[in-house]
Amino acid sequence: MALHPVIERVTDRIRQRSATGRAAYLARVARAAEDGPRRTHLSCSNQAHAYAAMDDKQDFATTRRPNIGIVTAYNDMLSAHQPYEHYPELIRRAAHAAGATAQVAGGVPAMCDGVTQGRAGMELSLFSRDVIALAATVAMSHDAYDAAVWLGICDKIVPGLVIAAATAGHVPAVFLPGGPMPSGLPNDEKARVRQEFAAGHIGREALMAAEMASYHAPGTCTFYGTANSNQMLMEFMGLQLPGSSFVNPGTPLREALTAAGVHRAAEITALGPDYTPVSAILDERALVNGIVGLMATGGSTNHVIHLPAMARAAGILLDLQDFHEISAVVPLLARVYPNGLADVNHFHAAGGLGFMIAQLLDAGLLHGDVRTIVGPGLDRYRREPRLTDGRAEWVAGARETLNDRILRPMAAPFAATGGLHMLTGNLGRAVIKVSAVKPELHVIEAPSRIFTDQAQVKAAFQAGELTSDCVVVVRFQGPRANGMPELHTLTPLLSVLLDRGLRVALLTDGRMSGASGKVPAAIHCTPEAAAGGPLAQLRDGDVLRLDAITGTLDCLTPGFADRPAAPADLSANQEGLGRELFALFRANASAADEGASVLF
């Protein structure tokens, strides 16, 4: 199937826009690779330090066995990352079986957005991505690894690791997932309980019981938020083994997939005939494939920030317009909570990513001519793994959906477009995800209610002040203001207002969680209020129009742009839980539509 003309046009535009930066990046990578395997240039003293704790250091120092670096985001506070505790031992065994060695090169921080939602720690969340990238780069700075395996799953962690992997672009990179926890309390029931609590109909004991039944075991949370969107991206972009994203932890197939990933890392080093550095994989075609996957699955809005940051690490410039145009031609093929009732285990069982990639390839919506960690061509990702005599082997994936309420073919999508739109107007640029929003709420025109943090919105709700149609504006939530926290704790109470028959929307220069759903929300508004954006000129009662159909975002009140900007009182965001140390990040962060990063 010929490539869809819109996909081809957007890719060409990205290539042209990025020509100078991409050429400089590839030249830098080439210089790093030109002397062959880097560790062969370490002095005897350098090598002795590097291998002092290895059991087989003498053999390793005198042979050309590949050495694999392990960069791990393990901690046992994140359920998704708890399975990584024993991965280094497994990886070392698999490396030895493949004629290689492996060392933990370093660890990176990994925070849980589920724990920090609505808390001060959430103001460090987005910036933790850049910290992870920096820490992982330190791990790779020993220059002693012929390939690296990257252990990360959750929200900011995978993007941070990708940035680091791209920076060390001459080194092959294989991402090893951990898999989702088994299905627990159905996601729609969890959402219902949260709304009942927000409305004051049930107590905290019932809420706690529902939450514990939802998040109940090691593994990724089973809704389709940023963490599971990360796993999808790594497959669509060719950095992870086919079909490996959603295999549960602690299963024989999960362990076999980890071993297979290590074997592949050993095979693609510069010491062998199939050298595949990450720079050869992570190009504009892979990034476009990732955006297509994001739209087809109804993935997290957080990746409208993360993908541009990852791209810049590889010398590539993405723009919101790229996302918007791709979304317009990529149909929604999956319904996974919060876009539907199913979880990622159900999605995987229905045919999963292999079925979806096959459908999109056959429709010309994906670049098939890419390089991946398993070889040339995305066709390899039509396959899915099976366990045979304790080893992972790949067979043809599902050719038909096994549950059309969860996963559909191109001929009968859930929606004709991906559901992610760019909004532009006199309030700036923003993003809206409508895949779970009722069609009658795709356009909201209503008076504004202005707030400067989530607590103010909650107080107004509890005081019974939100009783009419309105656009709830939460400003001074951008990266330069307070680190751009997610505002997910607003979802239950805004959902209550919708259930009461009100027409309500959210407008913010902050983020929503990857689990955001039925509330129409214009987010990532740029320029942000703290950087002179027009949100700072709004007042209570201004009539705002959010139109996801025409892609517009405007204040209809005459003269609003002539007002002085409201002052930003950010004193409460400057200290506590280490926020003092992140002042440098807040002062230097780029805009949300450029990746909200201090690194580029």
What residue numbers does the annotated binding site cover? 154, 221
Report the candidate in 589, 27, 75, 54 with the shortest Cα–Cα distance to residue 315: 27
- Integer Cα distance of 173 and 165 in angstroms: 7
Query: Is the bond leading into 331 cis (omega within 30 degrees of zero)?
Result: no
For residue 289, which phi and psi values (nearest 5 degrees)?
-60, -40
Dist. CA 529–CA 556, nearest whole Å: 18
CA–CA separation, 165 vs 145, rounded Å? Answer: 12
> Distance between CA 546 and CA 520 in Å, rounded?
9
Cis peptide before 527 (omega within 30 of 0): yes
Q: Is the distance from CB of 135 to CB of 106 less than 8 angstroms?
A: yes
Side-chain-side CA neighbours of 265 within 13 Å: the count stands at: 33
Cα dist from 473 to 466, 549, 550, whole Å: 13, 20, 21
**364 Rama class: left (phi>0) / alpha (psi -120 to 50) / beta:** left
Closest CA to 127 of 597, 600, 599: 597
3-state helix, strand, coil in the chain (%, to 5): 45, 15, 40
DSSP 8-state code for residue 180: B
Q: How many CA atoms lie within 13 A of 226 on its CB side?
A: 27
- What is the rounded CA–CA span in Å between residue 513 and residue 115? 12
- Full DSSP string of 50-62: HHTT-TTHHHHHT
Q: How far apart are CA 368 and CA 540, in angstroms?
A: 51
Provide the phi-psi class of 9: left if phi over 0, else alpha when psi is between -120 and 50, else beta: alpha
Closest C-alpha to 553, from 513, 523, 597, 583: 523
Query: Quick check: 244 and 235 in contact, CB under 8 A?
Result: yes
Q: Distance between CA 13 and CA 327 in Å, rounded? A: 16
Largest CA distance in the chain: 77
Write out the binding residues for [4Fe-4S] cluster: 154, 221
Per the CB < 8 A criterion, the answer to whether 475 and 540 are in contact is no
Helix or strand (DSSP H, E) at 396: strand 391-396
Separation CA 340–CA 198 (nearest Å): 21
CA dihedral 531, 532, 536, 542 (to 10 degrees): -140
Per-residue b/e over 541-551, b at no fewer than 16 CB within 10 Å?
ebebbbbbeee
* Alpha-carbon 247 to chain mean position: 18
Query: d(Cα 154, Cα 325) in Å, to the nearest integer?
Result: 27
Phi-psi region of 309 (alpha: psi -120 to 50; beta: other; left: phi over 0): alpha
